[in-house]
């Protein structure tokens, strides 16, 4: 399979000669930046390099920009199949069976990580939803270095890949409750489970310590990291946290905002764990 390693995305435009103007939105897809999570590593006493690939920098703020994809889980997929039978001239992309899903990550995400880390990546950690990111990226990295370790993250409440039963959880983006066709489990070296609470806690830490507003599944990836001394661990921040601002993930911020507004209106002293003000 041919792999195209030429740059795409914003870095390509910034490094080009002449005008730096994209001719269409697809030219902005790909080659998202890597960032080292030094504050969290220092706080936790980790002697390893924790690297995150920021997929919210995609045009539509998600890793799903890399492939034509359809979000959803079993019930939604059943509904799609029903509509396909009822509506004429329908084409269903279906990220859970479409080989283009994992191929996009084999052709782009994997080569991007390999080039930007200068081949120093030791461990790749990713949550599994459709399995496209994990399979495609992992497959490419192993073609470059078979010793690269691929770690799959799934919700502890619904650890189907580990052999458990499907169940409700609140880590959006991973753990669909079944094993998709696009997930190649032979690429996985280790499976780690995290609870919804652990994932949310880490996502909040990423926002507070690293200034990264990323989603719940991104928090799961980092919470499940392998803390190997001297290793470079790369994970995927699949989506931005803006879509979760009114969810349980950042509910504390909403509560603090409400308390602050009441304090301002009432002219009283108000204290929280992070804030003390007096308005008169």
Q: Is the predicted pLDDT of residue 17 greater than 60, yes or no?
A: no
pLDDT tens-digit series, residues 108-119: 889 989 999 999
Which region among 66-75, 148-157, 261-270 has the lowest average model confidence (pLDDT)? 66-75
Query: What is the architecture of the domain spanning 33-244?
Result: 3-Layer(aba) Sandwich (3.40)
Which region among 49-53, 220-224, 266-270 has the lowest average model confidence (pLDDT)? 266-270
Share of the chain above pLDDT 90, in %: 22
Q: Is the predicted pLDDT of residue 140 greater than 60, yes or no?
A: yes
Model-level pTM?
A: 0.70
Q: What is the mean pLDDT of residues 46-67?
A: 69
Q: What is the residue extent of each domain of the chain?
A: 33-244, 246-280
Tell me how far apart the alpha carbons of residues 223 and 200 are, in angstroms, rounded to a whole number.
Answer: 9
Tell me how far apart the alpha carbons of residues 162 and 179 are, in angstroms, rounded to a whole number.
Answer: 10
For 235, phi then psi, to 5°, come to -130, 170
The reported pLDDT for the residue numbered 260 is: 47
Residues in contact with 69: Cβ distance below 8 Å, sequence separation at least 6, in sequence order: 93, 95, 101, 130, 132
pLDDT tens-digit series, residues 236-264: 887 666 556 666 666 665 554 454 455 44
CA distances from 67 to 39, 99, 181, 233, 276 (A): 32, 10, 16, 24, 46
Residues in contact with 118: Cβ distance below 8 Å, sequence separation at least 6, in sequence order: none
Tell me how far apart the alpha carbons of residues 213 and 206 are, in angstroms, rounded to a whole number.
Answer: 7
Q: Higher confidence at residue 267 or residue 42? A: 42
């Amino acid at each position: 399979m041919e792999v195209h390693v030429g740059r795409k995305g914003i870095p390509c435009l910034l490094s080009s000669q002449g005008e730096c103007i994209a001719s269409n939105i697809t030219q902005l897809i790909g080659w998202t930046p890597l960032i080292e999570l030094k504050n969290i590593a220092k706080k936790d006493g980790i002697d390893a390099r924790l690297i995150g690939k920021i997929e919210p920098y995609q045009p539509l703020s998600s890793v799903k920009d890399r492939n034509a994809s359809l979000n959803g889980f079993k019930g939604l997929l059943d509904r799609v199949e029903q509509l396909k039978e009822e509506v004429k001239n329908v084409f269903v992309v279906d990220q859970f069976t479409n080989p283009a899903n994992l191929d996009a990550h084999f052709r782009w995400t994997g080569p991007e990580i390999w080039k930007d880390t200068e081949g120093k990546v030791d461990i790749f950690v990713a949550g599994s939803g459709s399995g496209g990111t994990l399979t495609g990226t992992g497959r490419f990295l192993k073609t470059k270095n078979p010793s690269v370790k691929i770690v799959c993250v799934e919700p502890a409440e619904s650890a189907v890949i580990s052999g458990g039963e499907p169940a409700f959880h609140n880590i959006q983006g991973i753990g669909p409750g079944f094993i998709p066709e696009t997930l190649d489990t032979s690429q996985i070296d280790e499976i780690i489970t995290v609870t919804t609470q652990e994932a949310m806690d880490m996502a909040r830490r990423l926002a507070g310590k690293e200034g990264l507003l990323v989603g719940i599944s991104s928090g799961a990836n980092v919470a499940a990291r392998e803390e190997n001394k001297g290793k470079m661990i790369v994970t995927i921040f699949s989506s931005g946290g803006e879509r979760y601002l009114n969810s349980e993930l950042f509910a504390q911020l909403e509560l603090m905002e409400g308390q602050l507004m009441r304090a301002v209106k009432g002219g009283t002293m108000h204290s929280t764990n992070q804030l003390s003000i007096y308005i008169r």
